[in-house]
Each structure stands twice: as C-alpha cells, then as structure tokens.
Amino acid sequence: MGAELGYRMHLLDIGGGFPGTEDARAQFEEIAAVINSALDTYFPEGCGVEIIARPGRYYVTSAFTLAASITAKEEIPMEQPGSDGPLVYHLSDGIYGAFSCVLFDSPCPKPLLHKKPCPDHLLCSSLRGPPGLPEDRIADGVELPELQDGDWLIFQDMGAYSIAVPSLLGGCPQPQVTYAMSRLAW
C-alpha cells in the first residue's frame, strides 16, 4: 500500500513485548519462527529493508525477583458484594510500584511462599497494594494458606516494567534492590 502511494519503505520495526517466561501462552521460539517465515516471504534478503525488533522484555523478565511483605490482612465475608474470597492481603508494593505491569498487560506472577507452611488448607485470596487504595488490585483468586502480617511472598520474573516505572501516586516507594547471582551463573 505504501509503495502504491510512492513511499519507499526502508525500515521495518516489528516491535517488542515478546514473552520471557516458560509459562507464556506462546513461547518466544514459536513467535520467532512465525515472524521469520513472514519476513522471508515478504521481506527477503536484499530487498533493501532494514528489520529491527525490541526484545527487551524477553531478555529481562527473569532478571528480577520481587519480595513483598504482607502489611495488612482483611477477612471478607463471602456474602459481601464484590468479595473475591475470604482473605485480602495488602502487600508492601502495588500497582503504582513494582506491580505496574498488571495495569498494562501482564497477569501477576504466581506468588511463592518465603516460608514453607503446611499447604493442606489453601484459601481463595486476593492480593492488594498498600491499604487505602481500593483500586490497587494486584491479583484475585490466588490459592494461599492463611498468612500473617510480616510474612513474605516471592514473585519471580518481575524484570520487565516493574521497578523501571515507579510512581509516588500510591505511596509505594522504589523497592530496595539487592543484587545476587548464583555461583553457577558467576
């Protein structure tokens, strides 16, 4: 269409947002195979078009793990309108901080328990940001054992668009970053 209007295309930016986790709906390798096939068909080598991509999310998703503490717990009666479960946990971070990815396009990563309590009795729980901001909804329908204030949840694969876009709107300060690397990776 552009060529019909006299435009000579010289740059194709295929964008970014490529998944960086193993549990993504489509794996990076599958996406790359489809893209490469289309590029071979529509933009063969030597056609004069430079092709670029921005695979930042793919590279950095696994670079950060977030530890968030439980700062408050609410027990919500199931018969209350809008109740998502019997327990609502407020975390030390929220959608105006490291969980901003939930606002844009990513579901909340499944939390891991810092301490390994006996998971015999799991409760349907909701995760929220700091108290006082009802719109700060991180995740609903999360199966967790009953936890207490001061307990910690671990969220892996938080490297893309988490600590890079903090906001003071929700009162979430920039999380402290502690660098760690396994001896094997070193």
- Please indicate whether residue 185 or residue 42 has the higher confidence score (pLDDT): 42
Q: Which amino acid is it at 29?
A: E
- Which SS3 state, helix, strand or coil, does residue 34 take? helix
The mean per-residue pLDDT over the stretch 181-186 comes to 76
pLDDT attached to residue 83: 55
Give long-range contacts, CB 8 A cutoff, 24+ apart: 53-56.
53/13, 53/14, 53/15, 53/16, 53/18, 54/13, 54/15, 54/16, 55/16, 55/18, 56/16, 56/160
Q: What pTM does this model have?
A: 0.74
Q: pLDDT confidence of 101, banded at 50, 70, 90?
A: confident
Residue type, 106: S
36 φ, ψ (degrees, to nearest 5)? -60, -40
pLDDT of residue 52: 92
Q: What pLDDT score was predicted for residue 172?
A: 55
Domains of the chain: 3-60 (no CATH), 64-155 (2.40.37.10)
